[in-house]
Amino acid sequence: MKRRTGLLWSAAASLAFSLLWPAPGQAEPSSAQALQLACSETQVSPAVLARLQQHWQPQGPVLRQQVQPRKGLSLRCETDATLASDAFTLHSSPTGFVLRASSLRGWHYGVYAALEQLGYAFWHPFEPVKPPVLPALQAHTERFVPALKQRGFSHHTMHPLELAHVLNGWGPGGPEDLAGWEVLLPEYDAWLEWLVAQRQNKLEWVLLEKASWADFSRSPERQRRLRELARRAQAFGLQIGIDAPLALEQQNGWRLIRKPGAPTEDKAQLLESLDWLAACGFDFITTEMGLSEFHHGGAARMLDWLNTAADYLDTRYGLPFMTKVHISSGQQTSDFRDPETGEPLNINFLPYYADPRVGTMPHTVQIYSLDDPAPTYGWQNFSEMLRFMRFSQRDQPDRQMVWYPETSYWINYDINLPLFLPVYAQRRQHDLQLIQSEGVALDGQIVFTSGFEWGYWLNDLLSARGTWQPPAEPGDRDDLSAMLHQTLAPFGPARPALQQLLQDTMQIQHQRLILGEVNGQRPDPVARQNAMAYLAGQDTWSDLAALIRRFGLPGFQTQPERDSFAQLRSDPLIAARFRQHTLPLLAATESDFAALFRRAEALEDQIPPHVQAYWAEIRDGLAINAARARFVRALAEASLQQQVRQQAQARRWLDQAAAALTEAQAITVRRSRAYRAGLTRLAGRNPNPTAYSYGYLWQAHSLFFWLRDWQQVAARNQHPCLMNSIDPLEVALPDPAGDWRAGLARSLGPLLGLKDCFEPPLPGS
């Protein structure tokens, strides 16, 4: 971590002491509920002290312990050099806590572990839970040891998320909105605190740029704002990184090489960009290979860029450098060979041949674990990524490897439907156990996250806790059960039932959504016969790609394929196959999800008032799942009735779908009133630094994918450009206004009958 200057440290410490001590001449506050803190500034930083004061305020003051003991609880920090970095022990007694650690982060983690024992909880980053009454403490000692050295999150700012503005130096009004950016800084601080409370030590995000705001993207003012973000993270004891793609053109990525050309020109651009980033104070840099997620742009050139960047960052700045290893398929290079099979190398595995200072971040997508069926991205499962991890570490044990899974995907798939999918947390815990059982010793885990609302904070929280050795809990529980049991403590008497409800939800979602299991039978193949394929949404670009693949042409696939409503209506063979397995699966999913929602409703009277908001979020998540399952099943039934020309039956099923849609609208309106960052920014159409013209919950709030499905069945509108919500040229190109490819696409679109596909979406479309 970068050293803080004495001036900055002194200023921060002065701020903390001004919060903790009364000014001369002022009466000292009552100490009946005081927290007496016996920790030096090198043990608990001013940044954490300031947060602690905010949380403790309803109870009383936080006071530096003086010679004369006071009433109230105490928290004393002690050094234990036998503990590994980040590990800590926490001893509680009726009078307070003794916290032992050997590092700043260890003491920070211990402070938040003590708050948890007192009934505090840090679930959604923007809404900590504060207990109405402090519980009586019992004598207890617990040792906390990380299972992975590196633990953190990548806030995927290529999507218009909660922190996309502030992390890119924007205010709500754009890059010129300095005052608005400063207003957003407390949200960033809250996320930093959440990371510490979950015992993480790293954070990163994707840096963005666009030709339309080029004056800001590499300006000194933007550097100043990024340096401030780095300073704040480091004040919490966190290491901060930035993801800067090599030359990736899609989704507004800030490219290390903006205009690939001759090797000397490429190198000059690369080093200039790395110098700019290093001046921002980042502790590590990550990157993305390829010119897009599905086009690599030349293996030898890409490898040269990786090696040059790693060497320069190491020798000039001492900064680590890692690259994402993506799960896309169908890209091989004959310039390099797979070390196990001898076949042309999957281009994503190119870092195997890179300088050993190039760390790798193997990545998978969506809810699937490494050994689940995963009929997405052109694969049937993700075992190929596990194979890469095995042979890479076997042959290159000194190369850094950090696991990079997801707790939300966003596009068409989960949080923006919306769906509540705690199965993500279950599969992430399963992945860590599987990787360990395969003999792969990870250096860490950094989780790709795409939003906090609709209960996705739970996926993040449990995935973070999975990077620590499991807590010691009574009884024979697995690791996930133990983590849930500890996490849900503020729910008091409702905890056992809520824990069982969430575990059952995870298990049922794994069976229905991933395995396609019904009546104990799993289909073979799972493709088109799993419930996730039907509950997920479809948009113009997934429909177009599926249409291309039906003609035997290569088309990118970013979600599980399904039998379309048009196919059910028009193809008797597909309809017959669908009736045999998929329709019973959708019916079982509908029944299961409805039962889970009823169990949530039955808990209402047991929920303590101070966590009612969180229970309501879980309840609404289960309610929207049930409504989506009912809606999709009804549309499928209506399509099948249309196929056999039973129009009266089809109308009855459409009525059921309409009822489910009405119910979903009520749920989403209710939920939107509780969005922690506000409806306008999260679900409105406002300026943001991404390639999308709306907040990440706009489609969820408007039930965009539901309405599109409805049009496909009720109006029988199967045109792929139906309700296009994405300008593909804004997503694919860094400067569509000045790029001949954009002009050509917009000219050809009408000639191909695809005009609406290439036009920017209209507001409200």
Residue range 438-443: mean pLDDT, rounded: 96
Comparing 398-402, 583-587, 696-700, 729-733, the range with the smallest average pLDDT is 729-733
DSSP for 232-270?
HHHHTT-EEEEE--SS--GGGB--SSSS--SHHHHHHHH
Note whether 517 and 526 are within 8 A (CB). Answer: no
pLDDT of residue 295: 67
The pLDDT score that the predictor gives to residue 14 is 34
Please tell me which residue, 23 or 438, carries the higher pLDDT value: 438
What confidence category does residue 759 fall into, taking pLDDT thresholds of 50, 70 and 90?
confident
4 is written with which tokens?
Answer: 């803080």
pLDDT mean over 195-215: 97
What is the rounded CA–CA span in Å between residue 540 and residue 708? Answer: 10
Q: Is the pLDDT of residue 475 over 90?
A: no
The per-residue pLDDT for 552 is 74
Please say whether the beta carbons of 250 and 203 come within 8 A.
no
pLDDT single digits (tens) 598-617: 999 999 999 999 999 999 99
> What is the distance in angstroms between the CA of the first residue and the CA of the last residue of the chain?
46
Question: Which residues on neighbouring strands pair with residue 521, listed in sequence order?
Answer: 518
Global pTM exceeds 0.95: no
5-37 pLDDT, tens digit each: 333 333 333 333 333 333 333 333 334 578 899
Q: What does the mean pLDDT of the chain come to?
A: 91
DSSP classification of residue 319: -
Backbone angles phi, psi at 758, to 5 degrees: -110, 5
Per-residue pLDDT, averaged over 516-524, amounts to 94
Q: Which residues of 675-699 are buried (b: 16+ CB within 10 A; e: fewer)?
A: bbbebebbbeebebbbbbbbbbbbb
| Each residue's pLDDT tens digit, 406-427 | 999 999 999 999 999 999 999 9
Tokens of 757: 């596909």
Residue 315: is it exposed, middle or buried by C-beta count within 10 angstroms (0-12/13-18/19+)? exposed
347, 327 in Cβ contact below 8 A?
no
Contact indicator for 203, 195 with CB cutoff of 8 Å? yes
Residue 70 confidence (pLDDT):
53
Identify the sign of the CA torsion 557, 558, 561, 567: negative
Instruction: Quote the percentage of the chain above a pLDDT of 90.
Output: 81
Q: Which residue has the tokens 């900055």?
A: 8
Residue with structure tokens 């769906």? 419
Nearest to 163 by CA among 124, 200, 129: 124
Query: 3-class secondary structure for 704-764?
Result: HHHHHHHHHHHCCCCCCCCCCCCCHHHHHCCCHHHCHHHHHHHHHHHHCCCHHHHCCCCCC
Distance in angstroms (rounded) separating the CA atoms of residues 162 and 451: 7
Q: Is residue 168 predicted with pLDDT exceeding 80? A: yes
Q: Edge to edge, what strands does the sheet with 358-362 contain? A: 358-362, 321-325, 284-287, 239-243, 202-205, 150-155, 444-449, 402-403
> Is residue 525 a contact partner of residue 669, using CB atoms and an 8 Å limit?
no
Give CA–CA dist 36/50, Å, rounded.
14
* Whole-number pLDDT of residue 760: 63
The CA-atom distances, in angstroms, between 11 and each of 16, 47, 188 are 9, 11, 20
Q: Spell 453-471 as b/e; 16+ CB within 10 A means b.
A: bbbbbbbbbbbbbbbbebe
**What's the rounded mean pLDDT across residues 483-488?**
95
Tokens standing for residue 615: 């229970």
CA–CA separation, 535 and 423 (whole Å): 14
The answer on pLDDT for 59 being more than 50 is yes
With CA atoms as reference, report the closest residue to 206 among 313, 287, 101: 287
Share of the chain above pLDDT 70, in %: 92
Return the minimum-mean-pLDDT range out of 101-105, 322-326, 551-555, 722-726.
551-555
Q: Residue 292: pLDDT band by 50, 70, 90 thresholds? A: low
